Amino acid sequence: MTQAIATQTKTAATFKSLKCKECGSEYEPKATHVCELCFGPLEVAYDYDTIRRTVTRETIQAGPNSIWRYRAFLPVETDNPIDVGTGMTPLVRANRLARRLGLKKLYIKNDAVNMPTLSFKDRVVSVALTRAKELGFSTVSCASTGNLANSTAAIAAHAGLECCVFIPADLEAGKILGTLIYGPTVMAVQGNYDQVNRLCCEVANTHGWGFVNINLRPYYSEGSKTLGYEVAEQLGWELPDHIVAPLASGSLFTKIYKGFREFIEVGLVPEKDVRFSGAQAEGCSPIAQAFREGRDFVKPVKPSTIAKSLAIGNPADGIYALEVARKTGGNIESVTDAEIVEAIKLLAETEGIFTETAGGTTVAVLKKLVEAGKIDPDETTVVYITGNGLKTQEAIQGYIGEPLTIEPKLESFERALERAQTLDRLEWQQVLV
């Protein structure tokens, strides 16, 4: 008996079914994502008693240095998930940015350096593709605003899965190149993300592929919970007071919330109310508009913003994100493209972190909320930076200055330095005025 246990490659799965978030109908944990009765989203249901009995802070700390240290909270059966070092990204104490904004305890969860493709999407894809293999898929796919395509293509390559991704044709060059390199089939759709998404829903019905954010979505989205677990663990098994995260579909936001609640539920952290605030770009802010107007439904919009990774006009989890922000005493705000660019620079100049437009949106909203008195300076606040600035270079082109080109002579250097310092002084004077 002992031997049989020792040679098992699967420990008992901690999840048993998918459950409709709206009407509670239960389904077998297959590749399906909507309730057949009411079309509500399906979510993985876990056996928390088993998790509470078997998981401790110590067992987690003894696990791999990746999201898979939280395997008991993730919807896979195997003991050998696809582990490409995803997760356990730095939680940085951001003192300089905090001082600039007037906060006392600010942290940045830095998924700009998540592995392997430099965005939080590696978390959800690692989970989705592990589950895709368990469910027998040989081809995986996704509808992406860029980061997801990078991640799906890279991790599919690692796992030896066929891959076909769909993106809007007007994406940033870095995101297209960062997908093509892994050798998938890339469909650049002449339309916006919502049109790509709709097309993929139709393809998912007919081709028998595993679409990470369609028919595998219940598993995929659970990967975002690890952004909650890691912050709790990195804060010394405590929850923060307030988090600020970007909102595209709203899934990430609601799953960080779920992650915190699960850690409380199984006794890994003490009970605490965490405020949840969400960030959108003004050019695509259906959830922020609904929040502002006190609506409990989200009216779709047609996106027009430089924050392309957040440009989802018809957000699947919008209503749930609204609910989380409202019940936790948080806010949902939007910022202009100009504010996004300024915030990308602010984060880089104060903390040495170069984020993409989504991160700029989040930092800009953080700033706006602090200025409006909606974040208490004494709150321990965590800001989620979900992507890397090298992928969206177009957004800041023309706003960051130029290198000083000089001759290879000391005199030329001295002259240029003098000029640069004069310009700096002028800039300071302008700030003072």
For another protein, the closer CB: 99 or 302: 302
| β-pair type (105-110, 275-281) | unpaired
Among positions 35-94, residues that touch another protein (CB under 8 A) are 35-41
Can you tell me which of 125, 200, 266, 383 binds another protein, judged by CB under 8 A? 200
Q: What's the min distance (Å) between Cβ of 90 and another protein?
A: 25
197 near another protein (CB under 8 A): yes
169 near another protein (CB under 8 A): no
Q: What's the min distance (Å) between Cβ of 413 and another protein?
A: 50
Tell me, what DSSP letter sits at residue 206?
A: H
Q: What is the distance in angstroms between the CA of the first residue and the CA of the last residue of the chain?
A: 79
- Sign of the four-CA dihedral 64, 70, 74, 79: positive
Q: What's the min distance (Å) between Cβ of 23 and another protein?
A: 10
Q: Residue 242: is it exposed, middle or buried by C-beta count within 10 angstroms (0-12/13-18/19+)?
A: buried
For another protein, the closer CB: 101 or 189: 189
328 near another protein (CB under 8 A): no
Kindly give, in sequence order, each residue whose CB lies less than 8 Å from that of residue 123, ignoring residues fewer than 6 positions away: 67, 86, 87, 111, 114, 223, 224, 226, 227
250 near another protein (CB under 8 A): yes
Among positions 296-315, residues that touch another protein (CB under 8 A) are 297, 299-300, 302, 312, 314-315
Can you tell me which of 205, 412, 421, 422 binds another protein, judged by CB under 8 A? 205
Binding string, residues 24-43; x marks residues near another protein by CB under 8 A: ---------xxxxxxxxx--
358 near another protein (CB under 8 A): no
Three-class secondary structure assignment of 78-94: CCCCCCCCCCCCCEEEC
Q: What's the min distance (Å) between Cβ of 116 and another protein?
A: 21
Sheet holding 162-168, edge to edge: 185-189, 162-168, 139-143, 210-211
For residues 351 and 367, what is the distance between their CA atoms, to the nearest angstrom?
A: 15
165 bridge partner residues: 142, 186
Q: What's the min distance (Å) between Cβ of 198 and another protein?
A: 6
